[in-house]
Structure formats: structure tokens, C-alpha cells
Amino acid sequence: IGTTSVPHVMEDLGLMQAFSLSQSVNLLQDSSEIVEVLNAAGGISLADAKAIANSINKPIGIKHLLMVAEMAQQTSDSDKVGVSNFLECLHTVGY
């Protein structure tokens, strides 16, 4: 599996021939999409995922969103990721 936010780089390096399938995934733009990813893959409660999604006001990539969720889990004082902790991590990565 290879992932990139700049597909032409993989083509320029001749890496595309190593893969039998190429899949393009659009940025998440709708808050319901963000909620679904955070709740399903990020392990964040539905209520917290909705609060986080309402605070994100521009498109975001799934990979970026999940990276921030993992960062928030690692920096959390408990086993639950809070909204403020997630948003702080999101701000830390420059979003």
C-alpha cells in the first residue's frame, strides 16, 4: 500500500507500476463525513466527533484527520480523546 497527497510524484519516480490498483480519495468536506471517520476509525464518541466536525471549517484529508486523532489519543490524559485535546492537536499540526 502506498499513500500520497501528490500522486504525480509516484508517477515521476516510476512507482505506479509497482501497484495493481490506484484509488483517489477526495478531501472530506461535509461534517457528516468527518463524523463518520472520527467515530469509526478514530475511536471518538459520536457526540465528540460531531463537535469536532463542526469546528473544522475547510476540507481535510482522511490521512490528516486520522493522524491528528492518533496524536490526540497519545497526548490524552485518559483513554478518551476530548474535543479540546483534538482541536489543540489539529492546531498544532497547522490546520
Q: Tell me: the pLDDT tens digits for 70-82?
A: 999 888 877 788 8
**For residue 74, how far is the Cα from the chain centroid?**
15
Q: Which pLDDT score is estimated for 50?
A: 96
Q: Which pLDDT score is estimated for 49?
A: 95
34 band by pLDDT with thresholds 50, 70 and 90: very high
Q: Which pLDDT score is estimated for 4?
A: 81
Q: Which pLDDT score is estimated for 47?
A: 95
- Collapsing DSSP to helix, strand or coil, 37 comes out as helix
* 46 vs 39: CA distance, rounded Å: 6
Nearest of 23, 53, 24 to residue 38 by alpha carbon: 53
First to last CA, the chain: 26
Mean pLDDT, rounded, of the chain = 90
pTM: 0.78
